[in-house]
A and B are shown apart, each in its own frame.
Chain A
Amino acid sequence: MSAGATVARRNTLGRALLYAVLAVFAILYLMPLYVMLVTSFKPLEEIHQGNMLALPDTWTFAPWREAWGSACIGLECSGVHGYFFNSIKIVVPAVLISGLLGAFNGYVLTKWRFRGHKIVFGLILFSCFIPFQIILLPMARVLGILHIANSTTGLVLVHIVYGIGFTTLFFRNFYESFPDELVRAAKLDGAGFFTIFFRILLPASVPIIVVTIIWQFTNVWNDFLFGVSFTSGDSAPITVALNNLVNSSTGVKAYNVNMAAAMVAAVPTLIVYILAGKYFLRGLMSGSVKG
Chain B
Amino acid sequence: MSFLHIHNVHKRFGDTHVLKGIDIAIEKGDFLVLVGPSGCGKSTLLNMIAGLDAISEGELLLNGERINDVHPSRRDIAMVFQSYALYPSMTVAGNIGFGLEMRKVAKARRREAIQRAAELLQIENLLDRKPAQLSGGQRQRVAMGRALVREPQLFLFDEPLSNLDAKLRVDMRTEIKQLHQRLGTTIVYVTHDQIEAMTLATRIAVMRGGELQQLGTPQAVYDDPNNLFVAGFMGSPSMNLVTARITRHEGRLVARIAAPAGDVTLPIVRDRAALEAWCDRDVMLGLRPEAITDPASANREDGDIHEATLEIALVEPTGADLYVVTQLGGRSINARMRPGAPLSPGQSTRFAFDVSRMVAFDPETEARIRDEVPATPDEASTGHADSTGNADSTGNILGQNA
Binding site for B on A (CB under 8 A): 179, 181-182, 184-191, 195, 199-200, 203-204, 289-291
On whether A186 and B87 interact (CB within 8 A), knowing A195-B102, A290-B132, the answer reads yes
Q: Which residues of B contact A179 (CB under 8 A)?
A: 83, 85
Interface flags for B53-81 (1: CB within 8 Å of A; 0: not) read 00000000000000000001100011101
Q: Are A188 and B89 interface neighbours, CB within 8 A?
A: no
Q: Which residue of A lies closest to B75 (CB)?
A: A188
Q: Is the CB of B98 within 8 A of A181?
A: no
Name the one of B88, B99, B102 contacting A291, with C-beta atoms under 8 angstroms. Answer: B88
Docked Cα-Cα span, A204 to B86, in Å, equals: 12
CB interface residues, B 86-139, toward A, < 8 Å: 86-90, 98-99, 102-103, 130-132, 134
A181 pairs with B83, CB closer than 8 A: yes
Q: Tell me which of A184, A186, A190, A204 contacts B88 (CB under 8 A).
A: A204
Closest to A289 in B: B88
* Cβ contact within 8 Å between A190 and B83: no
CA distance A188 to B72 in the complex (A): 5
Task: Report if A182-B85 is in contact (Cβ < 8 Å); known contacts: A188-B72, A291-B131.
Answer: yes
In the complex, the answer to whether B85 meets A184 with C-beta atoms within 8 Å is: yes
- Tell me the complex Cα distance, A139–B89, Å: 41
Contact, CB under 8 Å: A186 / B98: yes
B73 engages A291 (CB within 8 Å): no
Q: In the assembled complex, which residues on chain B have CB atoms less than 8 Å from the CB atom of A190? A: 73, 99, 102-103
- Most chain A beta-carbon contacts within 10 A, residue among B82, B86, B89: B89
Sample 5 A-B pairs with CB under 8 A, ordered by A number.
A188-B51, A200-B87, A200-B89, A203-B90, A290-B132
Check A182/B73 contact, CB under 8 A, given A188-B52, A189-B99, A189-B102.
no
Cβ of B79: which chain A residues have Cβ within 8 Å of it?
A: 184-185, 188
Choose among B72, B87, B130, B146 the residue that contacts A187 (Cβ–Cβ < 8 A): B72
**1/0 per position for B156-200, CB-CB distance to A under 8 A?**
000000000000000000000000000000000000000000000
Are A291 and B85 in contact, CB atoms less than 8 angstroms apart?
Answer: no
- Min C-beta distance of B331 to chain A, whole Å: 42
Q: Which residues 137-164 of B sit at the A interface, judged by CB distance below 8 A?
A: 146
Is chain A's interface secondary structure helix, strand, loop, or mixed overall?
helix
B50's partner among A188, A195, A204 (CB-CB below 8 A) is: A188
B87 and A182 contacting across the interface, CB-CB below 8 Å: yes
Of residues A191, A203, A291, which shows the largest number of chain B Cβ atoms within 10 Å of its Cβ? A291
CB contacts under 8 Å to A, within B309-339, are none
Q: Which of B52, B78, B102 contacts A191 (CB 8 A)?
A: B102
CA distance A190 to B76 in the complex (A): 10
Q: In the complex, what distance in Å separates the CA atom of A191 from the CA atom of B82?
A: 20
Indicate if the CB atoms of A184 and B81 lie closer than 8 Å: yes
A104 to chain B, nearest CB (A): 18
Distance (whole angstroms) from the CB of A290 to the closest CB of chain B = 7
Contacts of B51 in A (CB 8 A): 188
A189 partner residues in chain B, CB cutoff 8 A: 73, 98-99, 102, 146
Chain B residues with Cβ under 8 A from A204's Cβ? Answer: 87-89
User: Taking the nearest CB of chain A, how far is it from the CB of B103, in angstroms?
Assistant: 6
- The residues in B between 26 and 50 inclusive whose CB is less than 8 angstroms from any CB of A are 47, 50
Is the Cβ of A291 less than 8 Å from the Cβ of B52? no
Residues of A within 8 A of B81 (CB): 181, 184-185
* Most B-side CB within 10 Å, residue of A185, A186, A191, A195: A185
Give the Cβ gap from A268 to chain B, nearest Cβ, in Å: 29
Residues of B within 8 A of A290 (CB): 88, 132
Give 9 nearest A-B pairs by CB, closest first: A291-B132, A203-B89, A190-B102, A190-B73, A189-B99, A181-B85, A185-B85, A291-B131, A181-B81
A291 contacts which chain B residues (CB < 8 A)?
86, 88, 130-132, 134
Which of the listed residues B79, B81, B88 has the most CB atoms from chain A within 10 Å of its own CB?
Answer: B88
A85–chain B nearest beta-carbon distance, Å: 34
Q: How far is the CA of A76 from the CA of B349 in the complex (A)?
A: 110
- Per a CB cutoff under 8 Å, which of B72, B73, B82 touches A181? B82
Determine how close the nearest CB of chain A comes to the CB of B208; give it in whole angstroms. Answer: 25
Bound-state Cα–Cα, A72 to B87, Å: 55
Q: Cα distance A195–B73 when bound, in Å? A: 14
- Point out the residues of chain A lying under 8 angstroms from B134, CB to CB: 291
By beta carbon, the residue of chain A nearest B74 is A190
Contacts of B72 in A (CB 8 A): 187-188
Do residues B89 and A187 form an inter-chain contact, with CB atoms below 8 A?
no
Residues in B whose Cβ lies below 8 Å from that of A184: 47, 50, 52, 79, 81, 85
A237 vs chain B, min Cβ distance (A): 35
Q: Indicate whether A187 sits within 8 Å of B73 (C-beta atoms), given known contacts A203-B89, A204-B89.
A: yes
B115 vs chain A, min Cβ distance (A): 19
Complex CA gap A218/B189 in Å reads 51
Closest chain A CB from B157 CB (angstroms): 13
Q: How far is the CA of A191 from the CA of B81 in the complex (A)?
A: 17
Question: Nearest Cβ in chain B — how far from A194, in angstroms?
Answer: 12
Q: A residues within 8 A CB of B87?
A: 182, 185-186, 199-200, 204
Distance in angstroms from A191 CB to nearest chain B CB is 5
**Chain A residues within 8 Å of B86, by CB:** 182, 291
- Chain B residues with CB under 8 Å of A195's CB are 102
Whole-angstrom distance from the CB of B287 to the nearest CB of chain A?
Answer: 42
- CB of A111 to closest CB in B, whole Å: 12
A267 to chain B, nearest CB (A): 32
With A187-B73, A188-B52 known, 19 other A-B pairs at CB within 8 A are A181-B83, A182-B85, A182-B86, A182-B88, A184-B50, A184-B52, A184-B79, A184-B85, A185-B79, A185-B85, A186-B87, A188-B51, A188-B78, A189-B73, A190-B103, A191-B73, A204-B87, A204-B89, A290-B132
